[in-house]
Amino acid sequence: PGVTDLGATPSSKQACFCYVMLAGISEVLSSVVEDVSEAVNRNISGSQLLHELLSAPWLRALLKIYECLMRFQRLSPSPLLPCASGLLFEVRKAHRPSAEARELYNLLSSPHVQALLSSHDSVAQSDYLPVLSPLPDELPEDEEAMRIVCLVKNNQPLGATIRREEVTGDIYIARVIHGGLADRSGLLHPGDLIVEVNGNSVVGLEPEKVIQKLNSSIGTILFKVIPRSTQVTSSQKPVYMRAMVDYCPLQDSSIPCPDAGMAFSRGDLLEVVDQSDALWWQARKLPCGASFAGLIPSASMLRSKHKEQWWCHPSQVHTCIRPCENISGFRRSFRLWRRTSYKRRRQSCTSCSPSSSALSSPYEEVALYQRLPQENHRLIILIGASGVGVNELRKRLIKLNPSTFQGPVPHTTRPIREGEQAGREYHFVTKELFEYMVCNHRFVEYGESKSHLYGTSIDAIDEVIKRGRMCIIDVEPPGIHLLRLRNLKPYVIFIRAPSPDTLRQTRRNARLITSYAVNRAFTEEDFLELEDTSQLIDAKYKQYFDSVVVNDDLQDACMQLCSIIQQAQNEPQWIPVSWLHGEE
């Protein structure tokens, strides 16, 4: 039985057959009885009766049936092939089909499996279209090998770009997009000369016209190409890069094919699969969603684009949060200074665009890094708008686990006070030593408050890390650049302001540090400034953020921070390759 016969049980079929047989025999017998009774009634002689009986059609029919049954008995049916006996066994079992058999039956009879089986049969019988006309018997000696490529285009783009040779007007495949339709076919390669598309010659046509032809083709596209004489097999290993700038192909007039372009934003992780072209690379965004790559400008291309943009719109490329010359750490006096300085700087800047370092390196090569247990902990940097709660979160973390988390001890030129201990609250240093450290770039941040200098030094951070602790600092965003060092391998967490409603709701009873004596409640102006600054930092520095925590509920934010820090120290993370083995 075929798949579709699984439902009918063999016993019911046999019963049906027997019924047909019995109906025939009873007909024959009733005709025998009829003939005999007729002969008796007619009172004919015995020999005549015998002759009539023996020549009666019913007797012949009975004898035929008898012969058939005897033959059937001699040749009792047996399976022709061993697999057929297995099949028979299965069929017998199918009298009461098991749950598996029923499931198999359902699966096999589903439309897509039926379609798959039918496709398989077509392929197995080479039953596919179009049937190409046979090659002429006699080909000229100098005839170039022509390849006829048939692609079935669905909604996806073709996945190849073309270029025109200016002198000859020939149209060539310029590049094949990784994972795209053309690439998967394995039949079109960069450098192949396109002679015809769907039977129409393309030689001498403008590339736009060819693209139009291709775009308007639905279903099958038939290419006639002369393959490039030497095929270049590209076996490039993917390179992973962090985008340090934003890019939108639809706004880029220089891209060879905007449809093949891939947009990305600062901070996106890109898997660059092809760098063979000096101007246009091919990449996928990670975590990988698309099966095919997109075109992105090469690093040199992006650099020249940004230079060009700078000359056209120089006002857009200044930084809205400039590197600070005199900003301080996290003690109360530092933070007071920070608040006032922040306001001043915010007023003078209105725009937000990539910094100069992003322009010089639009992509940063990264690799996965897993910290080994014997290695130093990574530096944890918290970044956030003033008032968002960076200091509060940091204090809570340290309080929660003082043997694990620690902040660096700041330096100051102010005299030591009663109850203070050198190296505990501050490193108390002379003004000369402080200035010497400034000249030698030893401070991540420093500033002046009430004629005294305060600063957070790289050495103080190092000290904490070397003691085996996890150093947690909060710095103003420009400080990130100074801390991106191989030995510190900083992990940056952005503390983002919650939605405007949640911000106002959660900070109803919070106090803002405004002076040594007075902590006042948040005003509407504070909220607006906080939201504004939070968005600005996010937009300008997101390429450096490894994680983001929204500080809505303090307890939740603190817990989230703990688990992110744990992951940062113990799970593989993407870091710049220069932190693994390169120069700092």
Sheet holding 452-457: strands in order across? 427-428, 411-412, 452-457, 443-449
Q: Is 38 helix (H, G, I), strand (E, B) or coil?
A: helix
Q: Which range binds ligand ATP by CB under 6 A, 1-9, 147-155, 445-453, 509-517?
A: 509-517
Number of neighbours of residue 547 by Cβ within 10 angstroms: 15
Q: Which of 190, 389, 447, 477 binds ligand ATP (CB under 6 A)?
A: 389
Minimum CB–partner distance for residue 391 and ligand ATP (Å) = 3
**Scanning residues 525 to 564, which ones bind ligand ATP (CB under 6 A)?**
551, 554, 557
Size of site (CB under 6 A) for ligand ATP: 20
What are the φ and ψ backbone dihedral angles of 232, each rounded to 5 degrees?
-90, 120
Q: 377 with 470: CB under 8 angstroms?
A: yes
- Tell me the one-letter amino acid at 62: L
Q: Which of 255, 366, 390, 480 binds ligand ATP (CB under 6 A)?
A: 390
Q: Which of 87, 512, 539, 564 binds ligand ATP (CB under 6 A)?
A: 512
Nearest to 226 by CA among 148, 130, 140: 148
Q: Residue 259 or residue 392: which is nearer to ligand ATP going by CB?
A: 392
Minimum CB–partner distance for residue 521 and ligand ATP (Å) = 9
Minimum CB–partner distance for residue 541 and ligand ATP (Å) = 15
Q: Residue 105 or residue 522: which is nearer to ligand ATP going by CB?
A: 522
Q: Which of 513, 548, 562, 564 binds ligand ATP (CB under 6 A)?
A: 513
**Scanning residues 335 to 364, which ones bind ligand ATP (CB under 6 A)?**
335, 338-339
Q: How far apart are the first and last CA of the chain?
A: 75
Question: Is residue 388 close enough to count as binding ligand ATP by CB under 6 A?
Answer: yes
Task: Give the bridge partners for 574, in sequence order.
Answer: 368
**Scanning residues 244 to 273, which ones bind ligand ATP (CB under 6 A)?**
none
Q: Which of 386, 533, 534, 560 binds ligand ATP (CB under 6 A)?
A: 386
What are the φ and ψ backbone dihedral angles of 159, each rounded to 5 degrees?
80, 35
Q: Residue 455 or residue 576: which is nearer to ligand ATP going by CB?
A: 455
Q: Which residue has tokens 């750490």?
A: 329
Q: Is 456 helix (H, G, I), strand (E, B) or coil?
A: strand
Q: Residue 226 or residue 512: which is nearer to ligand ATP going by CB?
A: 512
| Tokens, residue 298 | 């090469």
Q: Which of 200, 511, 514, 520 binds ligand ATP (CB under 6 A)?
A: 511
Question: Is residue 490 close enough to count as binding ligand ATP by CB under 6 A?
Answer: no
Q: Residue 470 or residue 549: which is nearer to ligand ATP going by CB?
A: 549
Q: Which of 35, 52, 259, 392 binds ligand ATP (CB under 6 A)?
A: 392
Question: Is residue 470 close enough to count as binding ligand ATP by CB under 6 A?
Answer: no
Q: Which range binds ligand ATP by CB under 6 A, 44-52, 62-70, 321-329, 332-340?
A: 332-340
CA of residue 175 relative to chain centroid, distance? 23
Question: Is residue 384 close enough to count as binding ligand ATP by CB under 6 A?
Answer: yes
Q: Which of 189, 224, 507, 540 binds ligand ATP (CB under 6 A)?
A: 507
- Tell me the one-letter amino acid at 575: I
Task: Give the bridge partners for 473, in sequence order.
Answer: 381
Q: Which residue has tokens 């039953």?
A: 127
> How many residues appear in the chain?
584
Q: 513 with 340: CB under 8 angstroms?
A: no
List, in order, residues 6 or more apart from 353 with CB less than 8 Å away: 316, 317, 318, 319, 320, 540
The interaxial angle of helices 524-541 and 332-348, nearest 10 deg, is 80
Shortest-Cβ-distance residue relative to ligand ATP? 389
The residues of the shown chain that bind ligand ATP, judged by CB under 6 A, are 335, 338-339, 384, 386-392, 506-507, 510-513, 551, 554, 557
